Amino acid sequence: MSNRALTIEQKSFEIIDTEVGQHGYSQLEWNIVRRVIHSTADFDFAGSNGIIFHNEPIRSALTAIKKKCAIVTDVDMVLSGINKNSTKKLGLRASCHISDPSVVEDSIRLNKTRAQLAMQYASSDIHGGIVIVGNAPTSLLEVIRMVRENASLPALIVGTPVGFVSASESKQDLLELDVPAISNIGRKGGSSVASSIINALMLIHINNSQL
């Protein structure tokens, strides 16, 4: 990132800090929430329906990153938003299977969504890994099913799907699980929200390698 870009980003963070004022997040949590606001220009993510940290997700994520965990995303848009310099520096591998030919073929044959099947195909990476869902509620619901049935246990689930059908409900189901999760309440969310969360987590690890 150029010096000019860094200056603009820092100025943006200062504006966000000023406009939000006091909040109930810890410093590490705020690093994540502020980056979400930076990527969306939506201050609701710091409000009563803002980002929720469930079951010490930051600690779990940093431990998983230290172990070179896999990162699995629901859609290609989330994958493309993950900072490649950070994944390279940390030795992490991020993947999305929604466009795999076998997933597309089985989706037609089994009459299931590609987003749902993509998570099944990534089961081994999901176990002990980080799952990032920013677009498809069916992906999140499938991961929830896998956890409930002990088919896979991720170190962290980031669930911020956007939309009017099952998005809000899937987030509520996620927050009822006994797993580390970062999510929000309601219909808002999206790929930029999800990718900004994992980008913030990676930066926290890079800047606080002792954690």
- What's the average pLDDT block by block, 10 residues per block, for the chain (211 residues)? 70 94 94 96 89 97 97 97 97 96 94 94 96 96 97 97 94 97 95 98 85 44
In the chain, the domains with their CATH numbers are: 47-207 (3.40.50.10230)
> What pLDDT score does 148 carry?
97
pLDDT of residue 7: 83
Residue 164: the pLDDT is 94
pTM of the model: 0.93
pLDDT of res. 210: 42
Of 182, 194, 189, 147, the closest CA to residue 167 belongs to 189
DSSP labels, the chain? --HHHHHHHHHHHHHHHHHH-S-S--HHHHHHHHHHHHHH--GGGGSTTSEEEESSHHHHHHHHHHTT-EEEESSHHHHHHS-HHHHHHHT-EEE--TT-HHHHHHHHHHT--HHHHHHHHTHHHHTTSEEEESS-HHHHHHHHHHHHTTS---SEEEE---SSSSHHHHHHHHTTSSS-EEEESSS---HHHHHHHHHHHHHHHHHTTT-
Q: Are 200 and 86 in contact (CB under 8 A)?
A: no
User: Is 38 annotated as catalytic?
Assistant: yes
Reported as a single tens digit per residue, the pLDDT across 149-190 is: 999 999 999 999 999 999 999 999 999 999 999 999 999 999
The candidate with the shortest Cα–Cα distance to 120, out of 156, 92, 160, 147, is 147
CB neighbourhood size of 148 (10 A): 11
Pairing of strands 51-54, 181-184: antiparallel
Contact present, 172 and 155 (Cβ < 8 Å): no
State the catalytic residue, choosing from 23, 38, 54, 205: 38
